[in-house]
Structure 1
Amino acid sequence: MHTYQSLSGTQKFLDEIQKKQWRGEIHSTFKRTINIICTEGELYTIAAAELDNAPNTLRVADFFDRRSLLVEKTPVFSQDGHLVIGKIAAIEIQSAHIWQYPKIEFPPKQEYVKIKERIKQINSWLSQLESKGGYLLNTTQATTYEKMIHTMLWKESEQLLIYLKAKQLFQAMKQLYRVIGLGPGLTPSGDDFLVGLALIFTTVDYPYHSFSQWLINSRNELKKRTNTISFSTLDWAIQGESRERIASFLNELFYGKEEERLKEKMLAVLRIGSTSGGDMLTGMIAGLELTLALISDTENEKNGY
């Protein structure tokens, strides 16, 4: 059995390996990630060194050279400060750097004009990119099926945003269930859009607390309507956490000053999965535009307009 060194991980995952009799099994394997489902049903991930940090994730050096031996249902357990995978590998966690998703604060009023300009610039950059699929599909290069899915995604998501803008949360909840699971792929585009939306609604000092509570209230039904991997990402977003590069992008969008740096952070998000990054980005922009529109409407009402 070969021993590998962990590079970084979340406090919760490291604590469970160190302090608990933790048990699970391999749920799914990919080129640079291995998902483990524990006996309580929660999903954890071992990720390659070149990937960024994420919730419930342990980044490990040189681990994926033996990926072919790591098959579904292989038992995984904690033992003496190591995460042991069958009779194949043991991952030492003592050297792991603890990573924590930063608290992202919703920007103050004085930033709103600048944020609107940054959103405008992002939309301009996105319009110049080659077809990414999902919400960002270039329909001139797409198949009939891709165009149909693209149209459905926007139709259902825009209706969701209409209900949210009117604060009709009961109707919005029913519409939410039309977006979840919509689109092909391991993490459907509709799910990824909702991840982006949730990450805006769960920022610190977000002005509309009812939106985050609306998502929490929808959690159990959402879980039934999509797959385990996709729901895990969405569930973390509902709790206000996501990947490191998402946090970096949001901080730059809210408070950044350099255009090239914003573009660099945006492109890093777009590199998540095949279309997932673009779909999450679309959700974040939609959530932010919705919020700014609601704030503007509130200000106009106060001023008697």
Structure 2
Amino acid sequence: MIQAHVLSGDAGFLKRIRSGVFSGSVHSLFDRTINLHCREKEELFTIACVELDNGPNTLVTDRKRFQDLGIAVGDPVFVRDGELFIGQALALSWQQAKRWECKLPAYPVTDQKLRANVAVMKEYVAAHGKPGGLKKASSPVNAFEAEVSSLLGARTSQLYQSLALGRWSEACELAIGLVGLGPGLTPSGDDYLAGLFSVYHLPNAPCCLPYPFFEKFARETGQRTNEISYMMIKKAAVGHVRESIVSLLQAAIEGTAEEVIRSLDKVLSIGSSSGTDMTMGLISGVELQLETGGNVCLSKS
């Protein structure tokens, strides 16, 4: 049995295991993450290696990797004697773990700095973002990749226009149509939406969406993508996103150009093109706030 320590974690996840109310099984295993299915809550929770950032339903440990530990999909997960056991291979202690909560920064009273920083982000993504998802590759691997990239561009553009016009019912259908579209464990359409939604949940954001938008979105997308990606967009739909996205929003709102680029580099390093796709969604969200901030983004339809 390997012993490891939780360094930090989602406050709700820590509260759950501290109360002893957590049991389930290993859902999936990767080099840097272990996903757990929680029987009590019917949600996925994640055990992450030390290199990853905090996030919803996530515990960050002092482990560098999780491969070759003897853990298998379906292994039981349970709390006992102050430790979280994953099969018969790994025991996690959490007594010294730091609590993390997703606290999005407030939208600024004046937007000059935000406008300038969004311009910095767009230029940086154009130069350093990873292609293959929303950012078109200069030389697509094949015709299918080129078609998917074009489809992503068209659908995100349609969604942007619907949101700009305040047609939330139409926009919700378009957002649902993006789910599951694109390459990756978390498809590009899902990543884009996670970034977009984070902006709409900023406290004091001038442009908002009604509760039924997110309620319908969460209700109708569960079968359109894989469980891991669904958990990401389900949480984003209530304003819960990973720490690196929060830090990027904070830098965009009040930081210098250098601080924005440092935060942006961390997001762009996520996955293959996931970080780039999230950033493009976040940029779209900010631009919508800047363009339509004087109006309430609610549809009459």
**Common fold, TM-score beyond 0.5?**
yes
Partners of 1:162 and 1:21 lie apart in 2 by: 45
Partners of 2:7 and 2:189 lie apart in 1 by: 32
Relative to structure 1, is the Cα distance of residues 131 and 193 closer, same or farther in structure 2, using a 3 angstrom cutoff? closer
Partners of 1:142 and 1:297 lie apart in 2 by: 42
Q: Residue 62 of structure 1: CA displacement?
A: 2.9
Relative to structure 1, is the Cα distance of residues 288 and 212 closer, same or farther in structure 2, using a 3 angstrom cutoff? farther
Partner of 1:301: none
Relative to structure 1, is the Cα distance of residues 48 and 74 closer, same or farther in structure 2, using a 3 angstrom cutoff? same
Amino-acid identity (%)? 33
Q: Residue 68 of structure 1: CA displacement?
A: 4.2
After TM superposition, the structure 1 = structure 2 runs for residues 85-124 of structure 1, keeping only pairs within 5 Å, are 85-108=86-109, 110=110, 112-124=111-123
Relative to structure 1, is the Cα distance of residues 229 and 130 closer, same or farther in structure 2, using a 3 angstrom cutoff? closer
Structure 2 gaps of 5+ residues are 297-301
Partner of 1:281: 279
Partners of 1:177 and 1:201 lie apart in 2 by: 16
Partner of 1:13: 13
Q: Residue 22 of structure 1: CA displacement?
A: 1.5
CA deviations 1:5-54 (Å, max 9, x no partner) are: 21111221111112133211111111111000111321111111121111
Q: Residue 161 of structure 1: CA displacement?
A: 1.3
Larger radius of gyration: 1
Q: So what's the TM-score if we normalise by structure 1?
A: 0.91
Partners of 1:171 and 1:62 lie apart in 2 by: 45
Higher relative contact order (CA 8 A, sep 6+): 2
Matched, 1:268 2:266: yes
Relative to structure 1, is the Cα distance of residues 63 and 295 closer, same or farther in structure 2, using a 3 angstrom cutoff? closer
Q: Are the counterparts in 1 of residues 34 and 66 from structure 2 also a CA contact under 8 Å?
A: no
Partners of 2:7 and 2:130 lie apart in 1 by: 35
Partners of 2:12 and 2:129 lie apart in 1 by: 39
SS at match of 2:47: strand
Q: Are the counterparts in 2 of residues 7 and 97 from structure 1 also a CA contact under 8 Å?
A: yes
Relative to structure 1, is the Cα distance of residues 174 and 229 closer, same or farther in structure 2, using a 3 angstrom cutoff? same
After TM superposition, the structure 1 = structure 2 runs for residues 45-194 of structure 1, keeping only pairs within 5 Å, are 45-62=46-63, 64=65, 67-108=68-109, 110=110, 112-129=111-128, 131-140=130-139, 142-194=141-193
Q: Residue 130 of structure 1: CA displacement?
A: 6.4
After TM superposition, the structure 1 = structure 2 runs for residues 288-299 of structure 1, keeping only pairs within 5 Å, are 288-295=286-293
Q: Residue 209 of structure 1: CA displacement?
A: 3.4
Partners of 1:241 and 1:45 lie apart in 2 by: 14
Query: Going by fraction, where is helix more abundant, 1 or 2?
Result: 1
Relative to structure 1, is the Cα distance of residues 142 and 125 closer, same or farther in structure 2, using a 3 angstrom cutoff? farther
Partners of 1:185 and 1:64 lie apart in 2 by: 20
- The letter for the 1-side match of 2:60 is R
- The letter for the 1-side match of 2:148 is I
Partners of 2:188 and 2:273 lie apart in 1 by: 7
Q: Are the counterparts in 2 of residues 17 and 79 from structure 1 also a CA contact under 8 Å?
A: no
Q: Residue 3 of structure 1: CA displacement?
A: 2.1
Matched, 1:34 2:34: yes
Partners of 1:83 and 1:198 lie apart in 2 by: 32
Relative to structure 1, is the Cα distance of residues 86 and 251 closer, same or farther in structure 2, using a 3 angstrom cutoff? same
Relative to structure 1, is the Cα distance of residues 84 and 198 closer, same or farther in structure 2, using a 3 angstrom cutoff? same
SS at match of 2:284: helix
Q: Residue 238 of structure 1: CA displacement?
A: 1.3
Structure 1 gaps of 5+ residues are 299-305
- Deviates further, 28-37 or 176-185: 176-185
Give the number of equivalent residue pairs.
295
Partners of 1:130 and 1:60 lie apart in 2 by: 28
Q: Residue 66 of structure 1: CA displacement?
A: 5.5
CA deviations 1:261-305 (Å, max 9, x no partner) are: 21111111100111110000000000111121112568xxxxxxx
